[in-house]
Amino acid sequence: MEKGLLLVNLGSPATPETADVKQYLKVFLSDPSVIEMPAALWQPLLRGIILPLRAWRSATFYRDSWLPAGSPLIVHTQAIRDLVQADLPDFDVRLAMTYGQPNIATTLKSMAAAGCQQTIVLPLFPQFTQSTHQGIISQAEAAGVPITIIKHFYEEPVYLQLLAHKVWQAYQQHHYDAVIFSYHSIPTAMVRHGDPYQQECLATTAKTCALLPDLPADKVITAYQSKFGPMPWLKPYLKNELMQLVELGKRDVLIVTPSFVVDCLETIEEDYVQNYQTFKATGGDRFDLVSPMNADPKFSQFLADLARRWWEAQSQHVETN
């Protein structure tokens, strides 16, 4: 089969046990695309303080969210892969993870050996940022096989329509004082160095709301979550926004998480548990989340159509040259 599509997500520990979580975090937090601090300074801090303190705590979160079939991120992404494969019977559709298994380079080489003359690499992150995409790009290029990389899809009309539909369906269920579009944060230094992520997040919120004229603009907030370490990251932080909303008497909120296409530790543990508890303890009442795309067949069909469109455009480019 000459057509290949590799879907890539972040990854997960092999098990929720502390040793596996520690190994996963060690690889993840050693990626210079994620942590820009010089390795000579960062590695002693990572190995001597951060991993010993963080691994066991993260392991408890993974255990609480683990599904019978495995990590939620892996399980939901596998479901997407299966649906996309059904939508693209003439493609070899596979799955890989930036950190953990299946390995990106190994999978690409296997696809080439199976007959894929060209493989489209599609990171399952709507907005581009160095901290997620550069690791994927580096590993994919290291495979040494013909590839094309789709770097973002946040502005694709069908994706925006799907996101807007999910937001509106949830918004109509109850009265909400605020609708918070919450994105995974990144260090502000990356943005200063030219990373387009913040701009793409703000555009995602704006373009989605443009499709929802009946959603009051004064209720919409863009915030960021999942901050790590002492350095400044993109603000406003979701947790701070939740507490401030309660102080203003806004006690019913709806959270949208457009940077996460599947349920994972950030949505299940950070939002549904930690941020929920913070909001309720501060005096909040209703705290609801718009579910990520997960195995929505319309989202999988969008991914399939996106890949096919890229393949056809690439084929036409080859023919004209």
DSSP string, 39-55: HHHHHHHIIIIIHHHHH
Residue 230, pLDDT above cutoff 80: no
Place 4 in a pLDDT band, splitting at 50, 70 and 90. Answer: very high
Question: What are the tens digits of pLDDT across the range 21-37?
Answer: 999 999 999 998 888 88
Task: Please state, in angstroms and rounded to a whole number, the distance separating the CA atoms of residues 292 and 262.
Answer: 5
Task: Please state, in angstroms and rounded to a whole number, the distance separating the CA atoms of residues 250 and 172.
Answer: 17
| pTM for this predicted structure | 0.95
Task: Please state, in angstroms and rounded to a whole number, the distance separating the CA atoms of residues 285 and 263.
Answer: 23
pLDDT at 317: 65
Phi, psi of 221 (to 5 degrees): -130, 140
Question: What are the tens digits of pLDDT across the range 58-80?
Answer: 999 999 999 999 999 999 999 99
Task: Please state, in angstroms and rounded to a whole number, the distance separating the CA atoms of residues 259 and 306.
Answer: 18
Question: What are the tens digits of pLDDT across the range 79-135?
Answer: 999 999 999 999 999 999 999 999 999 999 999 999 999 999 999 999 999 999 999
From the CB of residue 199, how many other CB atoms can be counted at a distance below 10 Å? 12
> What ranges in the chain are assigned the alpha helix state H?
18-28, 39-45, 51-65, 72-87, 104-113, 130-142, 157-171, 188-192, 197-210, 238-247, 265, 276-282, 297-320
Handedness of CA 105, 106, 109, 114 (dihedral sign): negative
**Which residues does residue 164 pair with via DSSP β-bridges, in sequence order?**
none
Residue 266, annotated as binding a ligand: yes
Q: Which residue has the higher pLDDT, 319 or 13?
A: 13
Residue 96 near residue 107, CB atoms below 8 Å: yes
pLDDT at 262: 98
**Which residues does residue 169 pair with via DSSP β-bridges, in sequence order?**
none
Helix 104-113 vs helix 130-142: angle between axes, to the nearest 10 degrees? 40
| Percentage, residues of the chain above pLDDT 70 | 98
Of 47-61, 92-106, 273-287, which gets the smallest average pLDDT?
47-61
pLDDT at 314: 82
Question: What are the tens digits of pLDDT across the range 152-168?
Answer: 999 999 999 999 999 99
Residue 319, pLDDT above cutoff 90: no
Looking at residues 240-246, what average pLDDT do you find?
97
Looking at residues 242-251, what average pLDDT do you find?
98
Question: What are the tens digits of pLDDT across the range 287-297?
Answer: 999 999 999 99
Residue 304, pLDDT above cutoff 80: yes
pLDDT at 41: 86
Burial class (CB in 10 A: 0-12, 13-18, 19+), 114: exposed
For domain 157-289, give its CATH number from 3.40.50.1400, 3.20.20.70, 1.10.3680.10, 3.40.1380.20: 3.40.50.1400
CATH 3.20.20.80 fits 3-16+66-152+296-320, yes or no: no
**Which residues does residue 249 pair with via DSSP β-bridges, in sequence order?**
none
Exposure letters 230-254 (e unless 16+ CB within 10 A, then b): eeebbeebbbebbbebbeeebbebb
Residue 232, pLDDT above cutoff 70: yes
Single out the residue of 190, 267, 193, 263 nearest to residue 226, CA to CA.
267
Q: Which residue has the higher pLDDT, 2 or 111?
A: 111
Domain chopping of the chain, boundaries: 3-16+66-152+296-320, 157-289
pLDDT at 318: 60
CA-to-CA dists, residue 279 to 226, 236, 245, 254, angstroms: 16, 16, 9, 12
Residue 31 near residue 228, CB atoms below 8 Å: no
pLDDT at 72: 97
**Which residues does residue 3 pair with via DSSP β-bridges, in sequence order?**
91, 118
Indicate if 157-289 has the same CATH topology as 3-16+66-152+296-320. yes
Residue 252, pLDDT above cutoff 60: yes
From the CB of residue 131, how many other CB atoms can be counted at a distance below 10 Å? 19
How big is the chain by its Cα radius of gyration, in Å?
20
Place 231 in a pLDDT band, splitting at 50, 70 and 90. Answer: confident
Looking at residues 246-259, what average pLDDT do you find?
98
Single out the residue of 76, 10, 94, 148 nearest to residue 299, CA to CA.
76
